[in-house]
Amino acid sequence: MFPTAIVVLISLAYLGLLFAVARFAEQRAAAGRSIITPSLYALSLGVYCTSWTFYGSVGRATSGGLSFLTIYLGPTLMLLLTGVIVKMIRISKAQRITSIADFIGARYGKSYWLAGLATIVAVLGIVPYIALQLKAIAASLGILLADPAAGQGFWPTLAITASLAVFTIWFGTRHLDATERHEGMVAAIAFESIVKLLAFLAVGLFVTFGMFNGFGDVFSRAAALPGIERLLGLEAVKPVSWAALILLSGLAIVFLPRQFQVMVVENVDESHVRRAVWLFPLYLLLINLFVLPVALGGLVHFQGAAVNADTYVLRLPLSQGAEVLAMLVFLGGLSAATGMVIVETIALSTMVCNDLVMPGLLRSTWFSAQNRRDLSGVLLGIRRAAIGVILLLGFIYFQAAGEAHALVGIGLISFAAVAQFAPVVFGGMYWKLGTRPGAIAGLSGGFLVWLYTLLLPAFAKSGWIDPGFVQSGLFGFSWLKAQALFGLVGLDEISHCLWWSLLINAGLFAGVSLATRPDADEAAQAERFVDVFRLEARGGAPRLWRGQASPEALVALLERFLGAERAHGQLAGHAQARALSDWRRLPADAAFVQFAEAELAGAIGSASARVMVASVVEEEPLGLDEVLDILDEANQVRAHSRELELKQAELEAATGELRAANARLQELDRMKDDFVSTVTHELRTPLTSIRALSEMLYEDPKLPLADRARFLGIIVTETERLSRLINQILDMAKLESGRAEWTTSSIDVGTLVREAAASLEALFNEKGLCFSLSIAAGLPPVLADRDRLTQVLINLLSNAVKFVPQDGGHVWLSVVSVEDAVRVSVRDNGPGLTADECGVIFEKFRQGGDTMTAKPQGTGLGLPISRQIIEHFGGRLWVESSPGQGADFMFTVPIAAPDA
């Protein structure tokens, strides 16, 4: 075995190494190059695994089989709820929250009472847990030295406690940080996490593959032991206990003060959570992988010998003479214990200082007498003293309990204590109606039930108090039996406590909250907690402060509690954020007051910060209604801006429509102008010639008869043209305005075509053209206006006649039936149309042929009118043509529906 001096020396060297790691991290942080990476953050969460895990898991596995795993499955599941954790981090950063007690106090109106109550719950719950770590260190030391006295002696354990206190003070309170962040400590904790994992894996591999031939061998040899079945299977597990432990550990991973410290307070970047979500559970998995093999290996190896299973991890290597490995295991256990003690006591000391000592101090006469003195040193002193006192309490508890029962289940008792934070914290994060009285009632109710059903019975089992209230109930009332409250039996003590305490806790919290009204501070804080993401997205919480402040007083306040140097640094940062070069020019407005309060909250807790700020500024208190109005206003502004956005989008859409409509109107206006000028022009052409000829006839009575007859002939033709033009314009106007009269009837297109062709025969003969007519047999009737359809046909035919050459022209007219329509085609062998012309020919006053040189042959309205008519019937009129190939005008008229 090892000489004492060597072990002590190695232990001190190891602690020295931790110092070095921490120092390195702090130097890097000071240089602005933080070594806190996402993975390091995840490893620092490994502070969850204390000596209770390192030594105790094996012990639990020898009695409860696989159920020891529940303690690690709960955290795995809880971490998956990243939304909750990130929200907690965001709130804590926004409010400069430095502990779980401060979180609770701040949420319910920055309440002294609530933060103090939470602190008491935490301290009472955790001190035994610290005692457990002291015991583990002492016991492992005793085994390593083969000197049980070292594990129990008063002086050795006091020495261990004292060195831990010094160590913790050095780590946690070297300086007063504005955000209570300790990067050195986090780095050291992460380092310790690696050491304890490696140590446990080493002993696991040693037992599984060194002492046995792999997993299969361990399990098969253990299976031969009597009563081992129970440990290997899950049949013996009680479902309720199993579920209760998963819930309990899931809550503990968030609410244990040390976990809140590393997970929330020490978090430097929210995105680190993404890594922790899986890396921390992976860590837990690895550190538990060999627990069952080691436990079974120990049972096989120490068969019959009275060896405490909690010590298998250390005793198994020692039994094989593997002293180096045993030393490594001892260091692993030391890591697990010191890591827990350091973080937990730092977290608790912050709570004790800010939430228990400060409130009293700030009201004391001593404090008034110390007016204007720099108090940052005093704060540090209080925290250091708190660390010492907490560790001393742990030491006393350990000494008093010794080997007594009160140490065995202490881990879970602590878990159950901090689980009481769950209703007020989760309720506070997601429910605005939770009030301070509700939170105080819930938390104290749950705490008392925990005390009565779990802690006091543990004391009773150790023989410290009369166990009567457990065995027969308080005052002999059997329904008050501490572990069968209201006659609830059949549950293990943890499930029993968890059920009643959380029921009463949550019930009182919700019930009392709904029965009371929040005051202004609570309403404001509720808003800031529950809506933290929404408020930040909108650029910060509404400023709920009104009053008169002097910048000097606020600066002096900051200097007092942060120290001048630190205060000036923070002030400069704030000034810079507000685009001011000098913090001395900061206006004493609401933003400055809130900044000062937040900075103070980081140092002395939110409740004390509130009181201190209120003492140096003249505040006009805001009533609840006023606060609600302001918050309401903020909501209204939010709603208004959303409404405005909608309105704007609507307006833009309307503007677009209007613009389009305007463009269309301008186009129509232009078309109208074009139309009027074209019509005027068209009307004037015949009118001019009529007038010229009439004047000649009027002025020259001696005109020869032949000329007279010729002139009169022209006048008649031009008049006819004029009247035709006017008729067509009127017709067009009627069609376009929809005032045309239609007499629809069922028509046989073949007959109609024949009649139309016959009526034009004279015209064909005059032009000397060849006319071919083909009409398909059995055409279905169509529904149309006979006269109008004739008008279209005659228009198309006379167009064709117009464009075919004199003598040698050919016009084909064919009627066929296509799908659900009758198609009429009028084809000629005229000059044809270009592709462009095919498109525009249906526009008004567009004429076929070259209008610039030749005299117009028509009115330019025939085709547009025809198209209007055909479209009215539901058909289509179009032209197919290419230059030199003649033109083929076609239209379709849908056939009449059978029932028409």
Partner 1 sequence: MKRANLTRQRLVLLAMLGGLLFSFPIVGLVDGVVLGLPAGYLYLFGVWAALILMAARLSEGGR
Interface contacts to partner 1, rule CB under 8 A: 66, 69, 73, 76-83, 86, 215-216, 219-220, 232-235, 237, 239, 242-243, 246, 274-275, 277-279, 281-282, 285, 289, 292, 537
Burial class of residue 209, CB neighbours in 10 A (0-12, 13-18, 19+): middle
Write down the least CB distance from residue 238 to partner 1, Å. Answer: 9
Q: How far apart are CA 483 and CA 500, in angstroms?
A: 10
Q: How far apart are CA 770 and CA 521, in angstroms?
A: 103
Choice between 276 and 756, CB closer to partner 1: 276
Choice between 215 and 426, CB closer to partner 1: 215
Write down the least CB distance from residue 584 to partner 1, Å. Answer: 38
Choice between 229 and 650, CB closer to partner 1: 229
DSSP per residue over 735-769, as a string?
Answer: HHHT-----EEEE-HHHHHHHHHHHTHHHHHHHT-
Q: Helices 493-515 and 239-255 meet at what angle, rounded to 10?
A: 60
Residue 782, H or E segment = strand 782-785
Contact by Cβ (8 Å): 264, 89 = yes
Other beta carbons less than 10 A from residue 328's beta carbon: 19
Contact by Cβ (8 Å): 85, 79 = yes
784: phi then psi, degrees, rounded to nearest 5: -160, 175
Q: How far apart are CA 811 and CA 800, in angstroms?
A: 7
Cross-strand bridge partners of residue 745? 784
Write down the least CB distance from residue 246 to partner 1, Å. Answer: 6
Per the rule left: phi > 0, alpha: psi between -120 and 50, beta: everything else, 807 is left
Q: What angle do CA 675, 681, 686 make, to 5 degrees?
A: 135
Write down the least CB distance from residue 634 to partner 1, Å. Answer: 20
Residue 823, H or E segment = strand 821-828
CB under 8 Å to 827, separation ≥6 — which residues?
800, 811, 812, 813, 814, 886, 887, 888, 889
Reference 173, options 354, 335, 16, 24; nearest CA is 354
Q: Which two tokens stand for residue 459?
A: 């004391």
Write down the least CB distance from residue 235 to partner 1, Å. Answer: 7
Choice between 293 and 860, CB closer to partner 1: 293
Choice between 292 and 422, CB closer to partner 1: 292
Q: Which two tokens stand for residue 886?
A: 């003649």
Choice between 271 and 550, CB closer to partner 1: 271
Write down the least CB distance from residue 282 to partner 1, Å. Answer: 5
Other beta carbons less than 10 A from residue 449's beta carbon: 23
121-157: burial string, b at 16+ Cβ within 10 Å, e else: bbbbbbbbbbbbbbbbbbbbbbbbbeeeebbbeeebb
Residue 815, H or E segment = strand 810-818
Choice between 234 and 663, CB closer to partner 1: 234
Choice between 215 and 302, CB closer to partner 1: 215
HEC profile of 154-175 = HHHHHHHHHHHHHHHHHHHCCC
3-state helix, strand, coil in the chain (%, to 5): 70, 5, 25
Write down the least CB distance from residue 40 to partner 1, Å. Answer: 16
Write down the least CB distance from residue 83 to partner 1, Å. Answer: 4
In the Cβ-directed half-sphere of 505, how many Cα atoms lie within 13 Å? 26
Write down the least CB distance from residue 631 to partner 1, Å. Answer: 23
Q: How far apart are CA 135 and CA 140, in angstroms?
A: 8
Choice between 290 and 889, CB closer to partner 1: 290
Which one-letter DSSP state was computed for residue 883?
T
Write down the least CB distance from residue 537 to partner 1, Å. Answer: 8
Residue count (the chain): 900
HEC profile of 711-738 = HHHHHHHHHHHHHHHHHHHHHHHHHHHC
Choice between 227 and 321, CB closer to partner 1: 227
Choice between 24 and 215, CB closer to partner 1: 215
Write down the least CB distance from residue 230 to partner 1, Å. Answer: 11
Choice between 84 and 392, CB closer to partner 1: 84
Other beta carbons less than 10 A from residue 272's beta carbon: 21
Choice between 83 and 511, CB closer to partner 1: 83
Write down the least CB distance from residue 241 to partner 1, Å. Answer: 10
Q: What is the largest CA-CA distance in the chain?
A: 160
Write down the least CB distance from residue 286 to partner 1, Å. Answer: 10
| Cα separations in angstroms, 579 against 537, 550, 582, 583, 592 | 21, 20, 9, 10, 13
Choice between 175 and 230, CB closer to partner 1: 230
Write down the least CB distance from residue 76 to partner 1, Å. Answer: 7
Choice between 222 and 622, CB closer to partner 1: 222
Write down the least CB distance from residue 299 to partner 1, Å. Answer: 14
Which one-letter DSSP state was computed for residue 895?
B
Write down the least CB distance from residue 179 to partner 1, Å. Answer: 24
Contact by Cβ (8 Å): 545, 587 = no
Choice between 17 and 232, CB closer to partner 1: 232
Burial class of residue 825, CB neighbours in 10 A (0-12, 13-18, 19+): middle
Q: How far apart are CA 147 and CA 142, in angstroms?
A: 5
Write down the least CB distance from residue 738 to partner 1, Å. Answer: 53
Other beta carbons less than 10 A from residue 783's beta carbon: 16
Write down the least CB distance from residue 415 to partner 1, Å. Answer: 17
Choice between 237 and 624, CB closer to partner 1: 237
Choice between 28 and 274, CB closer to partner 1: 274
